[in-house]
Amino acid sequence: MELKGKTAVITGSNSGIGLGVARELAKAGANVVLNSFTDNDEDHALAADIGSEFGVEARYIKADMSKPDECRALIEKAGVCDILVNNAGIQYVAGIDEFPVEKWDAIIAINMSSAFHTTAAALPVMRKAGWGRVINIASAHGLTASPYKSAYVAAKHGVVGLTKVTALETAEEPITANAICPGYVLTPLVEKQIPDTMKKYNMGRDEVIRNVLLERQPSKEFATVEQLGGTCIFLASDHAAQITGTTISVDGGWTAL
């Protein structure tokens, strides 16, 4: 239980990558605060189940990551934030000249600005505690680009830049800031897309995964939420105390191209 006694706040964590990371941190002994913009019984039950399964404290706090005040209130309501995992994100695909302004604004707000607001609120808490870890879930698109993803690529590059600034501002303190840059990750959302993609390209499952979904991922294998969670555990550990201001790619070689 390497993280026993620590509390991790994970944004956008009632499904997908965020939920996977929360489960791995709880498995390592951390108390966890789950978050999304909904406030359903299922959200609170999800936290209760994690707490029961791993013997940790687990809570769910509603906060809309598109709203600065709610981003900061999330940290305030959590009360403790030893490990901040900024994971919340959305996607939209269109050419620059056709990209809806409201979609641009939403992606920049949720994927990038939310990380600024939560970090700004969390740093004083970490400083008071005398220890902290800021872990930003960026993307391979924080290091490279793809067409038709202008807002997402801009936001993820911004997250990498914010990570570096956070690291420099805390360099002489027992606080680190790093970004994890995943390639394609097998989440329930991606899994649901596979049958439609198979129909579109008239391909079998393995072929569509290898040649369409993972076209740019040299390993031809998805990253997993468990691998991302394990990377978070490493970055939160004492072994990573001198790793700060950098990116760790979990992308099957994507950014090596």
Q: Which domain holds residue 166?
A: 7-185+223-250
Rounded to 10 degrees, the C-alpha dihedral 133/182/162/130 comes to 0
pTM of the model: 0.97
Counting the structural domains of the chain, the total is 2
Residues 34 and 157 in one domain: yes
Each residue's pLDDT, cut to its tens digit, for the chain (257 residues) gives 799 999 999 999 999 999 999 999 999 999 999 999 999 999 999 999 999 999 999 999 999 999 999 999 999 999 999 999 999 999 999 999 999 999 999 999 999 999 999 999 999 999 999 999 999 999 999 999 999 999 999 999 999 999 999 999 999 999 999 999 999 999 988 999 899 999 999 999 999 999 999 999 999 999 999 999 999 999 999 999 999 999 999 999 999 98
**142/250 Cα distance (integer angstroms):** 12
**33/10 Cα distance (integer angstroms):** 6
pLDDT at 189: 85
Residues 209 and 144 in one domain: no
> Could you report the per-residue pLDDT of 171-190, keeping only the tens digit for each?
999 999 999 999 999 998 89
Active site residue 152: yes
Residues 72 and 130 in one domain: yes
Residues in the chain: 257
Q: What CATH number does the domain containing 111 carry?
A: 3.40.50.720
Let me know if residue 256 belongs to a domain: no
Residues 194 and 71 in one domain: no
Phi, psi of 178 (to 5 degrees): -145, 160
Let me know if residue 257 belongs to a domain: no
**13/34 Cα distance (integer angstroms):** 5
Take residue 134 and report the two structure tokens written for it.
């800021």
Residues 209 and 85 in one domain: no
Q: Which of 148, 152, 184, 201 is catalytic?
A: 152
Phi, psi of 165 (to 5 degrees): -65, -45
pLDDT at 1: 73
Between strands 7-10 and 31-36, the pairing is parallel
Closest C-alpha to 83, from 39, 14, 42, 137? 137
Residues 215 and 171 in one domain: no
- Contact, 122 vs 134, CB < 8 A? yes
Residues 76 and 177 in one domain: yes
